[in-house]
Amino acid sequence: QVQLVESGGGLVQPGGSLRLSCAASGSIFSIDAMGWYRQAPGKQRELVAAITSGGSTNYADSVKGRFTISRDNAKNTVYLQMNNLKPEDTAVYYCNTNGRGSRPGVRYDSWGQGTQVTVSS
């Protein structure tokens, strides 16, 4: 079993910045992709950004140029640096990771509990 613990959400004014962190622990042999998703009230969960084990990144068009995803493989941790935040970025942000478990033949796809990001003046 793999657990994800997120931190870094909160309330920020438009134009401000926040940095989200997500640490994975448990029965991990390797981590493939790590990513951040978000879900605003009344909307579907959407991909914000993802990063592969090799460092390739993918961003939603709405956050390109403002958000940066990175990972520390030694710490099994993924980060999301969010700059120039807008009210439409308000949502619950979820961390996701997948890879091979410590038991042979077992793969995992795990989600964090979510962290609230609110952008408001």
Query: Mind listing the pLDDT tens digit for each residue in 55-107?
Result: 999 999 999 999 999 999 999 999 999 999 999 999 999 999 999 999 888 99
What separation in angstroms does the CA of 106 have from each of 34, 99, 103? 18, 9, 6
The pLDDT of 20-33, averaged and rounded, is 94
**Cβ(9)–Cβ(65) below 8 Å:** no
